[in-house]
Amino acid sequence: MIRVEGLSKVFRRPRTFSGPFGTVRTLFTRQYEEKLAVDDVSFEIDEGEIVGYLGPNGAGKSTTIKMLTGILTPTGGSIEVNGLVPWRERTANARNVGVVFGQRSQLWWDLPLIESLRLVGALYDVRHFDKALSKVREILGLDGFLDTPVRQLSLGQRMRGDLAAAVLYEPPLLYLDEPTVGLDVLAKEAVREFIVETNRSGRTTVMLTTHDLADVEALCKRIILIDHGKVLFDGAIDALVNQPRRLVVELESGTRTYDIHDDLPGMVATIAAEHTIRDLSIVEPDLESVIKGIYAR
């Protein structure tokens, strides 16, 4: 479904100067600095998968997604989405993908939600609009606010409207960039349920970017972790979390950690024979600490 190989993106921006006459220098020197936002990234995503594409702020996630949608042209490497090269066949590619950017709406701000959805329907040539709408309005619970202008919607309502617009034309692939950002727990739950249902009923492939690891635990079997534009991990979450528990001991010389395999009392006895143990604790491998550990490597 998605094949990415050796993908890179370099942004070139004018070098800015601070201090007295900084603005004038910026305007006249014409020096540029380069930022390698995505650096030799490769992965494949199969039909029907839900993959979490995770990384700290500035890691290169949105830049990758923008290249996958065709908004940005890569500096190097190749991308194929459903047999198409996104930036060359941008319109055809757009029909294959639904996109939600949680931080900003794709809807028309001044139009009532229903009008925005009608426009999406017309743009994407949705033949049986009423049928398509009735499917999403029920599952996303749009009824109370279909006639409200988008600018007056609460964040949770707006997100549901954006999700509706993204799936109205039944694309086989969804890119969701922080779809639960800023939502309360119930609204997050509703969005997650919608994603699961869309993936299950239509075999829709989902690539999800989020900082909320509860989203990841609820939705993804596989994650791709990136930082500084590079892939640090690509694999099953189970493999990450099914790591041994860790024993953390406070010794006089400082803190040490050990993987716990089987004989915990024996391990403690061995350590105690050589050191004075001040305190000890056992740490379960949760996703957050495992991911933090990978970033820190």
Q: Which of 167, 219, 268 is nearest to 54 (CA)?
A: 219
Residue 58 interacts with ligand ATP (CB under 6 A): yes or no: yes
Residue 37 interacts with ligand ATP (CB under 6 A): yes or no: yes
Of the candidate residues 4, 52, 61, 208, the single one contacting ligand ATP (CB under 6 A): 61
Of the candidate residues 8, 39, 49, 63, the single one contacting ligand ATP (CB under 6 A): 63
Of the candidate residues 54, 59, 84, 159, the single one contacting ligand ATP (CB under 6 A): 59
Which stretch in 21-29, 60-68, 266-274, 281-289 sits in contact with ligand ATP by CB under 6 A? 60-68
Of the candidate residues 3, 11, 80, 193, the single one contacting ligand ATP (CB under 6 A): 11
CB of 78 to ligand ATP, least distance (A): 19
SS3 at position 23: helix
Which stretch in 14-22, 56-64, 127-135, 241-249 sits in contact with ligand ATP by CB under 6 A? 56-64
Residues paired with residue 84 on neighbouring β-strands, in sequence order: 81
Q: Which of 45, 50, 53 is nearest to 211 (CA)?
A: 53
Of the candidate residues 15, 35, 151, 200, the single one contacting ligand ATP (CB under 6 A): 35
SS3 at position 249: strand
Residue 98 contacts by C-beta under 8 Å, 6 or more apart in sequence?
A: 165, 166, 167, 169, 171, 173, 174, 175
Nearer to ligand ATP, 11 or 17 (CB): 11
CA distance linking residue 101 with residue 209, whole number of Å:
9
Per the structure block, which two tokens stand in for 297?
A: 């490597």
Residue 223 interacts with ligand ATP (CB under 6 A): yes or no: no
Other residues' Cβ atoms within 10 Å of the Cβ of residue 171: 21
Q: Output the furthest CA–CA distance in the chain (Å, rounded).
A: 76
Which residue intervals of the chain are DSSP H helices? 22-29, 61-69, 90-96, 113-123, 129-140, 155-167, 185-202, 213-219, 237-241, 264-274, 287-296
CB of 62 to ligand ATP, least distance (A): 3
Which stretch in 53-61, 83-91, 161-169, 286-294 sits in contact with ligand ATP by CB under 6 A? 53-61
Nearer to ligand ATP, 35 or 88 (CB): 35
Residue 60 interacts with ligand ATP (CB under 6 A): yes or no: yes
Q: Which string of x and - marks every residue 253-272 that binds ligand ATP (by CB under 6 A)?
A: --------------------
Question: Which residue do the tokens 């997100």 mark?
Answer: 159
CB of 85 to ligand ATP, least distance (A): 20
CA distance linking residue 124 with residue 263, whole number of Å:
62
Of the candidate residues 57, 91, 242, 253, the single one contacting ligand ATP (CB under 6 A): 57
Residue 295 interacts with ligand ATP (CB under 6 A): yes or no: no
DSSP state of 112: B
Nearer to ligand ATP, 36 or 114 (CB): 36
Per the structure block, which two tokens stand in for 195?
A: 């994603």
Residue 121 interacts with ligand ATP (CB under 6 A): yes or no: no
CA distance linking residue 266 with residue 285, whole number of Å:
21
Sites of contact with ligand ATP (CB under 6 A): 11, 13, 35, 37, 55, 57-63
